[in-house]
Amino acid sequence: MHIPDGFLSTNTWVATWVFSAGGLGFCIKKTKEILKDKMVPLMGVMSAFIFAAQMLNFPVIGGTSGHLLGGVLAAALLGPWAGAIVIACVLAVQCLIFQDGGLTALGANIFNMSIIGTIGGYFVYRLIAKAVGGDKGVMAGVAIAAWLSVVIASSACAIELALSGTSPLQVALPAMAGVHALIGIGEAIISCLVIGFVIKARPDLVYNYEEE
């Protein structure tokens, strides 16, 4: 899902860069209010954690394997703003070190996975967690939000490709959303199990958990 350079038209990549930069600026402001100068070391180590977690492959249907994206997981554990920063840092490192996603397309990739996927996913998760209530609500919320965030982020990617004239929407959208609807199942299961474990082991580390 990491868009390389050359796939997006200038309008698209410049616009998504502007949106992402603005969104991340807001996230930094919010996170600084909560964490103060603890923010840098904690966010750095958390980015390293998400990065390491993404290296772990798990089997998806039909012999293929997928890896965790971790957007909703990061948001559920650290809160939406800190989660978005962590995912953005991971995407930046993937772009720079592993060339997974292009430099000009980095704005679009951050927009899809960090702004829409992570922050959007977090609010879906809260909504479901509130509606269902209890630990079950948290786990169900994380599972559904994780699946949705993967599908929505890949749909946003398809829409950006269509806006750039790279591939027609009626093909790109079902293809991207369809493939990621499968990948999202793994994401949902793993995210849900991890959050279930952390709730049992260290509930104080789950963002906003005590309020329930």
Partner 1 sequence: MHHFYIDEYSELKSPLHRFDPRVKIITFFSFILFVIFTSPHSYFTFLLYGCVLCALIGLSRIPWRFVLVHSLVIIPFVLMVAVFIPFLKKGQIAGAYSFGSINLTITYDGIAVFWNILVKSYLSIVCVILMMASTKFTHFLRALENMRIPNIFTMILSFMYRYVFVIADELMEMRQAKEARSIGGTKWFHTKVLANMLGVLFIRAYEKGESVYLAMCARGFQGAIKTIDRLKISGFDIMFSCIIFAVLISIKIFAG
Q: Is 156 in the site for partner 1 (CB under 8 A)?
A: no
Query: Is 30 an interacting residue with respect to partner 1 (CB under 8 A)?
Result: no
In 3D space, the residue among 198, 203, 93, 189 whose CA is nearest the CA of residue 150 turns out to be 189
Q: Which residues touch 48 (CB under 8 Å, ≥6 apart)?
A: none
Stretch that binds partner 1, among 39-47, 116-124, 129-137, 140-148 (CB under 8 A): 39-47
Q: Is 17 exposed, middle or buried (0-12, 13-18, 19+ CB in 10 A)?
A: middle
- Regarding 49 and contact with partner 1 (CB under 8 A), the answer is yes
Helices (H), 99-133: 106-110, 121-132
Q: H or E stretch including 18? A: helix 10-35
Decide if residue 176 touches partner 1 (CB under 8 A): yes
Span of 48-56, 110-118, 120-128, 130-138 interacting with partner 1 by CB under 8 A: 48-56
Q: Does 75 bind partner 1 (CB under 8 A)?
A: no
- Please list, in sequence order, all residues whose beta carbon lies within 8 angstroms of the beta carbon of residue 132, skipping any fewer than 6 positions away: 140, 141
Which parts of this chain interact with partner 1 (CB under 8 A)?
Answer: 1-7, 10, 25, 28, 32, 36-49, 51-53, 55-56, 58-59, 68, 77, 85, 89-90, 92-93, 95-100, 102-104, 161, 165-168, 171-172, 175-176, 179, 189-190, 193-194, 196-198, 201-202, 205
